[in-house]
Amino acid sequence: MNKSILSLGLLLVNIAIGQKTTEQKIDDLLLKMTLEEKIGQLNQYTNDANPTGPLVINPNKEKEIKEGKLGSMLNVMGADRTRKYQELAMQSRLKIPLLFGLDVIHGYKITFPLPLAEAASWDLPLIEQSARIAATEAAASGVHWTFAPMVDIARDPRWGRVMEGAGEDTFLGSKIAYARVKGFQGNKLGDLNSVMACAKHFVGYGAAVGGRDYNSVDMSNRMLWETYLPPFKASVDAGVATFMNSFNDLNGIPATANAYIQRDILKGKWKYDGFIVSDWGSIGEMVAHGYAKDNKEAAEKAILAGNDMDMESNAYRYHLAELVKEGKVPMSIVDEAVRRILRKKFELGLFDNPYRFSDAKRQEKALNNPEHAKVAREIAAKSIVLLKNEQNVLPLSKDTKTIAFIGPMVKPKRNNHGFWSIDLKDVDSTYIVSQWEGLERKVGKNTKLLYAKGCDIEGNNRSGFEEAIAIAKQSDVVIVSIGERHDMSGEAKSRSNIHLPGIQEEFIQELQKTGKPIVVLINAGRPLIFNWIADNMPTIVYTWWLGSEAGNAIADVLFGDYNPSGKLPMTFPRDEGQIPLYYNHFSTGRPSKDDNDKIYKSAYIDLPNSAKFPFGFGLSYTTFTYNDLKLSAPSLTSKGSITVSFTLTNSGKYAGEEVVQLYLKDPFASVVRPIKELKGFQKVKLNPGEQKTITFTVDNELLSFYNDQLEWVSEPGAFELMLGSSSEDIRLHATFELVK
């Protein structure tokens, strides 16, 4: 049912039975609130014990809560701790409950793969389910609100936060944003297993110049609308309760005080009724940006531009009352921000029972549910990307006599959690299956497992090489696990050099000399560069950071209990000099037709243009063939559609899943268009020899784009359609026409 009809219906029912609507209750409350109490609702402080940004201790926090001067806290978790703070709020004059927010980015107690890794599964129902489980655990632990999903499109792997999003593609990113919001929020806000989601960082944060965190962003409005805004719009469509703005300036205006994005687009055009929280200290940081002369002016600019809640800047706390008294900020603007926040508190049911999420018994049950680990294992296996399997070394036999499992990632546990995992104080958060444990559990009694660390992740200590090589020589197969440490990708973890750190590549070169079959596992939070390995090692598995069940999931894939189906959600470059490198770039006037075509072409004289591993790429233990493409008609009108169908066959020996990808190209338009764009995908499971007819519908919406006037239009003419197994591995082509 249409949302406004539903609200009208509820309003009429409420009037009939004499009950007040939420908006009427907010009206009543606003009438009772002093200016200081209103401003209190707009303040958010961290718990000092585990800050997630530069901390300024406020010794008066507890007193301020009792005085009704604080609306929300972050980094407070656990049924008992949240209850303790809520009890303070219940001593305040109006007893307005606190909201507790936390970065539940990829799981709460059970950690799931990094969001970027999960995106490699292209499995929307499972991505939704992982967010659902994270919400169930967090909500039982007193958390009302997660600062997730991060829906920033990211085309620069130097940026450490690529690990937190869904990669470079707007179509895939929007579908995943929708699934994650639905997963976190469940059926409706107020259910005891739902948390409010937060679409962040609004907007452009992923396009920071040079991939350096917090850096400036300069982009055309057409790029903003076409590439960066759609995942945020998808979040709104999914009903996301909150938004977070971003640290960057966007075309010279810090996002935090950007009225165009917050007031005109989000609250205006998209009619968004949730609230916007600043990023950590981002109001105050406008002074460093040189956009406000002091914290007071920063507060004024932020609230006027639509930023509702102040996370950790203390700008509203110290200056808003004065700004209102001076007439610089109208009371109506303050009331609007307070209304948006109170609305969510009502929707969560906190006015009925402020402790409803802080329930130690429910917490105990939710945090010890074995079903959660099962799902984590499934999605971890589905997130793994098989990059090479040239000699079919994989899958391994469980009867292999001796396996050497070597490398700095084999035994440590913490790394598998990845960045943004939660350090739970009240509950056991050490549940992680190490890669070693996963393998140990998988192999039969007759298999001997040998271990050596070999080398560190960083540094140049070669003293472990000898032992590792000796062990490799005694084995039938060598598995070597290398990569980035968990804290080398994440917030403020930009790297100018994204090659494999340390001497790990050199270590593999030494191991290769043993002549043994070697499986290379690469663990990382971003696309890394490892050209020697990519060119010389026949078997490579990209495992990202997979969370609590990493060890089991990796073993499932290595031994064929799960046939890998992951596809890269980001392009892997050959060299940092190519960055930003993404598949859906614009056509140039001098395109080079291949990597050798360089003379007076848009090319590098010292590097190929192509990716090392392209967007959408990933192998399986089986093979898939694409045949028999049919279009229901050679043309469509802007009101019509074309059905595209073809036969997908599992032509190999193993059951497996293929992510079938549909790309479209608009060869001529009133503005330059990308060389191809993902416009559909399906994850299809087939047994060996099995065939299936796969169908897509192409309609006007898929052919539309933002023209020079920022109008969403389609233009008549020919279109190219491509179906394939990656953005580069196109198996079927067709053309069709849009007629007006």
- The site for ligand BGC (CB under 6 A) is made up of 52-53, 74, 103, 147, 200, 279-280, 491
Exposed/middle/buried for residue 708 (C-beta within 10 Å: 0-12, 13-18, 19+) = exposed
- Residue 234: how many CB atoms within 10 A of its CB? 23
- Of residues 153 and 323, the one with the C-beta less far from ligand BGC: 153
- Of residues 105 and 660, the one with the C-beta less far from ligand BGC: 105
- Of residues 139 and 255, the one with the C-beta less far from ligand BGC: 255
Residue type for 632, please? Answer: S
**How many angstroms separate the CA atoms of 57 and 562, rounded?**
49
Strand partners, 240: none
* Residue count (the chain): 740
Dihedrals φ, ψ of 125, to 5°?
-60, -35
Are 176 and 127 in contact, with CB atoms under 8 Å apart?
yes
- Of residues 454 and 490, the one with the C-beta less far from ligand BGC: 490
Q: How far is the CB of 449 from ligand BGC (least distance, A)?
A: 40
The catalytic site residues sit at 279
Are 412 and 523 in contact, with CB atoms under 8 Å apart?
no
- Of residues 118 and 279, the one with the C-beta less far from ligand BGC: 279
Exposed/middle/buried for residue 193 (C-beta within 10 Å: 0-12, 13-18, 19+) = middle
* Cα torsion angle, 281, 286, 289, 293, sign: negative
Q: How far is the CB of 200 from ligand BGC (least distance, A)?
A: 6
**How many angstroms separate the CA atoms of 254 and 261, rounded?**
10
Q: How far is the CB of 160 from ligand BGC (least distance, A)?
A: 11
- Of residues 74 and 662, the one with the C-beta less far from ligand BGC: 74
| Token output for 630 | 């049919």
| Token output for 580 | 């930003």
- Of residues 309 and 686, the one with the C-beta less far from ligand BGC: 309
| Token output for 318 | 């110290």
- Of residues 85 and 171, the one with the C-beta less far from ligand BGC: 85
- Of residues 74 and 443, the one with the C-beta less far from ligand BGC: 74
Q: In 513-640, at which residue ranges do the beta strands (DSSP E only) sit?
A: 518-523, 539-542, 624-631, 635-637
Q: How far is the CB of 568 from ligand BGC (least distance, A)?
A: 24
Q: How far is the CB of 151 from ligand BGC (least distance, A)?
A: 11
**How many angstroms separate the CA atoms of 152 and 569, rounded?**
13
**How many angstroms separate the CA atoms of 130 and 113, rounded?**
9
- Of residues 103 and 300, the one with the C-beta less far from ligand BGC: 103
Half-sphere exposure at residue 226, Cβ-oriented, CA atoms within 13 angstroms? 26
**How many angstroms separate the CA atoms of 363 and 658, rounded?**
38
In 48-97, alpha helices (H):
61-66, 79-89
Exposed/middle/buried for residue 76 (C-beta within 10 Å: 0-12, 13-18, 19+) = buried
**How many angstroms separate the CA atoms of 311 and 100, rounded?**
12
- Residue 301: how many CB atoms within 10 A of its CB? 22
3-class state of residue 188 by DSSP: coil
Strand partners, 102: 146
Q: How far is the CB of 169 from ligand BGC (least distance, A)?
A: 21
**How many angstroms separate the CA atoms of 497 and 157, rounded?**
10
Q: How far is the CB of 390 from ligand BGC (least distance, A)?
A: 40
Q: How far is the CB of 312 from ligand BGC (least distance, A)?
A: 8
Are 231 and 205 in contact, with CB atoms under 8 Å apart?
no
